[in-house]
Chain A
């Protein structure tokens, strides 16, 4: 496992918000390596800086210090345009809320990054998106408006949107945070499927049963990664067991 290439590497990443008084040191030196095909869950108490970490290592926000390397190249020095290009082509995002455009259908929302990434290959983009929608079981509602589908369907569509431009890594910030448990399982199954197909995933979550799907769980406290747990590959039969083990570990962390 250790011989796989690092997709994302963070070195001593810090983030300080100066807009508050005193300045809030939310990230205080994060080192994290995400290897290709790995599924990492980030856990921690509410307000510990999980989302901040996710946004600062994914080129959405700029860290106050440290380095972030995506597939070996520096992110921190890039211009907004270059960074946007990277987010478009090499990264995918899933948020707690889909934040879809209300004036577009589910299909068009998913199509957006695909079209943007390949403006000259419209049929190719459409075909790719149709395949994704089919694969995640939402093709039949793809023509609907976003208020006409369920939360679980919306989050799966959101995952489709993240995958539409075939990214190197997918970031998810509490993708199940706003869902009930059955919808939550729906979305986690989809994520697990994505991971099995070889995608690299970094997911922030609050929910141990979601985190149990990951290969590795890291724990964030007061802006520092204090511990990590290797869980190995998830299978449906070992799910309950893993979850118990994880909860035990989390207790030690003071979760």
Chain B
């Protein structure tokens, strides 16, 4: 290090130490921005890394088709023979059981429980031999012996299961017992949004379980290709083949990968968005602090210029000062981001695979944090360009940063303003008139407060509004379901039709239940843009029109309503005709409207009518009468009807959306904390600087008879008023453009939500949060103006 740079460094260190408050506040804001940006990026990278790691080990299929019921093996063999791109393929047999039919016991302690409260389909399978393995945490591919079972890690965590516990499955022929031998991760069904989960048992046990009855037979036809690029062709060919089974969803490798990463990466996206707002605040503060520092040190700058230091050298001194601070902040932020990302990806590491912190992680973190540092430094550099304009004489004699012409312009502006300002005005008290006069004269400085509070308001309300949207009972209408108190599903039964009819009869009879609505899910064939498609239609009375229609209305006679994703896939719009077929014949229907739905992957349809036979499943909705507890009704029905599952709607929603709401909740909590902390920090930073500049004037005002209480009141009034303006604008902005923006953003994600109107909780978003920020501004003002009281007033006059 040469002498000059060591002198520079000493200068920088001294200076940072001398301005402790300002340095700390600025450092914190930069650190938080870097932290959030780094955490977001790292969580994304780590999640994708974990997914890829698991995909490496488990080798999930490149293309899969689910199906339940009868199918034609010969047709599948014929199909495969005609597809040269297929590397290997097989049919996986599965047995689906309702959660209530599976219990667990811990012989050592006598504890026990069941999976009745789980919404997820429980599928029993054997280990595959060619690909799509269920893998242990070590990466090993377990092959259970008879009597052993491997349980998905998701359930291990949720029900706190241990090796040695016993799983008991209720079948038609009594119970089957298995000993938990280990836990497995599942490349296909690891996503927290996955509607199913797989248990691994031995081949003889599987045969016995099938024999015992009670499980719903399902298959997955799985394909591995020689080249991933061929997946599209395969999928088209498969859909075009009328003979192969396809009444369930299809999934491609790419989609599974995105979906896996996405469902857990959502929090990361939210964090990054929040960090953008924080960066905006950081930039404003940096500008403000540098401007203020230059004004305070204008005489020193003048001196440096007078002794012949060129402008760019002086700028560099300052840049070094703030650059050091930025770099330190970003380093701390990056370090904290590593820890935070580790915490946030814990469940990802468990569900997918523990991905190591590799070179790529470091690179991603560096890029994210470097971006923050770059933006901050660029802003510093831009503000510091004004050093060039400083004129020696003006700096030394008048203590002004401005050149001759700028000073003249400013004087003219000031003179104009003076004409309009009068302390003898008619409105308000003398104190308030003084405060207003100061706000007007120093509006450029004070602007910082409303802008920061504006950003903070947006920052804390939007994630909260998003969260309350997904928690709102009215959100079901986004899911193509009516608003009801309970929901019952009949899916895993030997005779679905009979079980559905029994349940419906019982519910209709029940005086505690009203508005009972039954829907039968019937599978039809139709022709889409890319060839034949399977269409799952909910048949029942849709006249109540509870789903939120994007276009058109609920279906009448000879009409059908489609979910947005289905309408897209089938290439039809409202008013178009659609022909559907099944074993009973062919129907030509008019599309009455399009609604959005996030159930069944977003692919649903509605048709009026009444079906009592041949349905794949039944869903029955009902309201409870006043005073009836939906929870009690549900558990009563679940005990009486083992083939059905009834849910209190609220709980159903919570479970279905839990992975989303969890992500939004962390984002909402984090942004609340950061938003309020940063608002407070900037308030203190600003007032500290403001008060130190105003000291002589405050001293003079005190001398001529203004009490400290009045002077503090002026400061508090100015702070609260400007903050209120910012908060007010922030609320308006968040409620309009902000909600629109977030809604549109969510709608672009692959959920089936095509348009999302946020449903903020008005008490929180429009009252509690604004008041909280208002209180923050007041607290900041009180904290800082307290320093007025401690001083010897005359100190302010001596400087």
Interface residues of chain A, those whose CB is within 8 Å of chain B, are 51-52, 55, 60-62, 80-81, 83-85, 87-89, 92-93, 95, 97-105, 108, 111-113, 115-117, 119, 122, 125-126, 143, 145, 147-148, 161-162, 165, 173
Which partner residue on chain A sits nearest B798 by CB separation? A51
Rounded to whole angstroms, the CA-CA distance of A161 and B705 in the bound complex is: 11
B411 touches A112 (CB 8 A): no
Interface centre among B424, B430, B703, B792, by most A CB within 10 Å?
A: B703
B794 adjacent to A51 (CB under 8 Å): yes
Give 6 closest A-B pairs by Cβ, nearest first: A88-B705, A103-B441, A99-B700, A84-B707, A55-B794, A93-B703
Partner of A117 from the list B434, B700, B702, B705 (CB cut-off 8 Å) is B705
Please tell me if the beta carbons of A108 and B422 are within 8 angstroms of each other in the complex. yes
| Pairwise interchain contact A99-B699, C-beta atoms closer than 8 A | yes
Q: How far is the CB of B715 from chain A (nearest CB, A)?
A: 14
Shortest CB–CB separation between residue A38 and chain B, in angstroms?
A: 21
Interface centre among A99, A111, A162 (most CB of B within 10 A): A99
Given contacts A61-B793, A108-B423, contact A89 B705 (CB under 8 A): yes
The CA-CA distance from A112 to B442 in the complex, in Å, is 19
Name B residues whose Cβ lies closer than 8 Å to a Cβ of A.
Answer: 411, 414-415, 417-418, 421-424, 429-430, 434, 437-438, 440-442, 696-697, 699-710, 789, 792-794, 797-798
B704 contacts which chain A residues (CB < 8 A)? 87-88, 92-93, 112-113, 116, 161-162
A112, A115, A125 pick with most chain B CB within 10 angstroms: A112
> Complex: how many Å from CA A111 to CA B430?
11
Considering the chains assembled together, what is the distance between the CA atoms of A159 and B216 in angstroms? 99
Quick check: A145 and B430 within 8 Å, CB to CB? no
Most buried by A among B437, B441, B700, B701: B700
- Beyond A80-B709, A87-B704, A145-B411, whether A103 also contacts B793 by CB under 8 A is no
Q: Are B707 and A80 in contact (CB under 8 A)?
A: yes
Q: CA–CA, A61 to B792, complex, Å?
A: 6
User: If A100-B700, A108-B422, A145-B414 touch, does A116 touch B705 (CB 8 Å cutoff)?
Assistant: yes
* Majority-rule SS of B interface residues: helix
What B residues does A62 contact at CB under 8 A? Answer: 792
Residues A61 and B430 in contact in the complex (CB < 8 Å), given A93-B704, A103-B438: no
Bound-complex Cα distance A98 to B798 (A): 12
CA distance A147 to B415 in the complex (A): 10
Complex: how many Å from CA A119 to CA B424? 9
- Find out whether the CB atom of A80 lies under 8 angstroms from the CB atom of B708: yes
Can you name 13 A-B pairs with beta carbons within 8 Å? Answer: A60-B702, A80-B708, A84-B708, A89-B705, A93-B703, A100-B700, A101-B701, A102-B441, A103-B414, A105-B421, A108-B422, A116-B430, A119-B429
Cα distance A125–B415 when bound, in Å? 24
A104 lies within 8 A of B415 (CB): no
Establish whether residues A104 and B705, one from each chain, have CB atoms under 8 Å apart when the complex forms. no
Task: From the candidates B423, B440, B705, name the one contacting A84 in the complex (CB within 8 A).
Answer: B705
Decide if A61 touches B794 in the complex (CB within 8 Å).
Answer: yes
**Residues in chain B near residue A84, CB distance under 8 A:** 702, 705-708, 710
Q: Specify which chain B residues have a CB less than 8 angstroms from the CB of A92 in the assembled complex.
A: 704
Q: How far is the CB of B797 from chain A (nearest CB, A)?
A: 6
CA distance A77 to B440 in the complex (A): 38
With A103-B421, A122-B424 as known contacts, state yes or no: A145 contacts B415, CB within 8 Å.
yes
CB-CB under 8 A from B437, the residues of chain A are: 101, 103-104
B424 touches A126 (CB 8 A): yes
Contact call A81/B709, Cβ cutoff below 8 A: yes
CB atoms of A99 and B797 under 8 A apart: yes
> Nearest residue in A to B704 (C-beta to C-beta)?
A113
Q: A61-B792, A116-B430 are in contact. Are A95 and B700 (CB under 8 A)?
A: yes
Check B792 against A97 for contact (C-beta < 8 Å): no
Shortest distance from the beta carbon of A25 to any chain B beta carbon, whole Å: 15
Contacts A99-B697, A103-B442 given: A60-B423 contact, CB under 8 Å? no
B423 near A111 (CB under 8 angstroms)? yes
Q: Which residue of A lies closest to B694 (CB)?
A: A101
Residues of A with C-beta under 8 A to B792:
55, 60-62
- How many angstroms between the C-alpha atoms of A103 and B714 in the bound complex? 15
Chain B's nearest CB lies how many Å from the CB of A173?
8
Q: Are B709 and A165 in contact (CB under 8 A)?
A: no
With both beta carbons as reference points, the residue of chain A lying nearest to B698 in the complex is identified as A99
CA distance A116 to B707 in the complex (A): 11
20 extra A-B contacts, CB within 8 A, seeds A99-B699, A115-B430, A119-B430: A55-B793, A60-B793, A60-B794, A62-B792, A80-B789, A81-B707, A84-B705, A87-B702, A87-B705, A93-B703, A101-B434, A102-B697, A103-B418, A103-B440, A103-B441, A111-B423, A111-B424, A112-B704, A145-B411, A145-B418
A22 to B699, CA, bound (A): 27
Are A104 and B423 neighbours in the complex by a CB distance under 8 Å? yes
A84 to B698 CA separation, bound complex (whole angstroms) = 13
Question: Given the complex of chains A and B, what is the CA–CA distance between A162 and B423 in angstroms?
Answer: 17
Q: Which of B423, B789, B797 contacts A95 (CB 8 A)?
A: B797
B418 surroundings in chain A (CB, below 8 A): 103-105, 143, 145
Taking the closest CB of chain A, its distance from the CB of B694, in whole angstroms, is 10
How far apart are the CA atoms of A64 and B174 in the complex, in Å?
93
How many angstroms from the CA of A110 to the CA of B534 in the assembled complex?
87
When chains A and B are docked, how far (Å) is the Cα of A165 from the Cα of B703? 13
Q: Give chain B residues whose Cβ lies under 8 Å from the Cβ of A103.
A: 414, 417-418, 421, 437-438, 440-442
The CA of A122 and the CA of B425, in the complex, are separated in Å by: 10
A85 touches B421 (CB 8 A): no
* Residues in chain A near residue B789, CB distance under 8 A: 80
- Look across to chain A and name the residue whose beta carbon is closest to the beta carbon of B439: A103
Contacts of B421 in A (CB 8 A): 103-105, 108
Instruction: Tell me which residues across on chain A come within 8 A of B440, comparing CB atoms.
Output: 103
**How far apart are B401's CB and chain A's nearest CB, in angstroms?**
15
- Chain B residues contacting A93 (CB-CB under 8 Å) are 700, 703-704
Chain B residues with Cβ below 8 Å from A116 are 430, 704-706
Closest to B417 in A: A103
Collect the chain A residues with CB atoms within 8 Å of residue B709's CB.
80-81
B797, closest chain A residue (CB): A95
A95 to B699, CA, bound (A): 10
Measured between beta carbons, the chain B residues less than 8 angstroms from A125 are 424
> How many angstroms between the C-alpha atoms of A252 and B265 in the bound complex?
86
Q: Which residue of A lies closest to B699 (CB)?
A: A99
Residues of A within 8 Å of B430, CB to CB, are: 112, 115-116, 119
Neighbouring B residues of A105 by C-beta, 8 Å: 418, 421
Taking A51-B798, A148-B415 as contacts, is the C-beta distance between A85 and B705 under 8 angstroms? Answer: yes
Cα A105 to Cα B437 in complex, Å, equals: 11
Tell me, in angstroms, the Cα distance from A93 to B699 when the chains sit together. Answer: 11
A55: chain B residues within 8 A (beta carbon) = 792-794
CA A113 – CA B702 in complex, angstroms? 10
Nearest opposing residue in chain A for B708, CB measure: A80
Once bound together, how far apart are the Cα atoms of A3 and B260, in whole Å? 98
A-chain residues with CB within 8 Å of residue B441 when the two chains form the complex: 102-103
Closest to B799 in A: A97
Query: How far apart are the CA atoms of A161 and B704 in the complex, in Å?
Result: 8
Closest Cβ of chain B to A106, distance in Å, is: 10
Q: Which residues of A contact B438 (CB under 8 A)?
A: 101, 103
Residue of B nearest to A52 (CB): B794
Give Cα A97–Cα B702 distance, bound, in whole angstroms. Answer: 15
Shortest Cβ distance from residue A175 to the other chain B in the assembled complex, whole angstroms: 13
Contacts of B411 in A (CB 8 A): 145, 147-148
Q: How far is the CB of B698 from chain A (nearest CB, A)?
A: 9
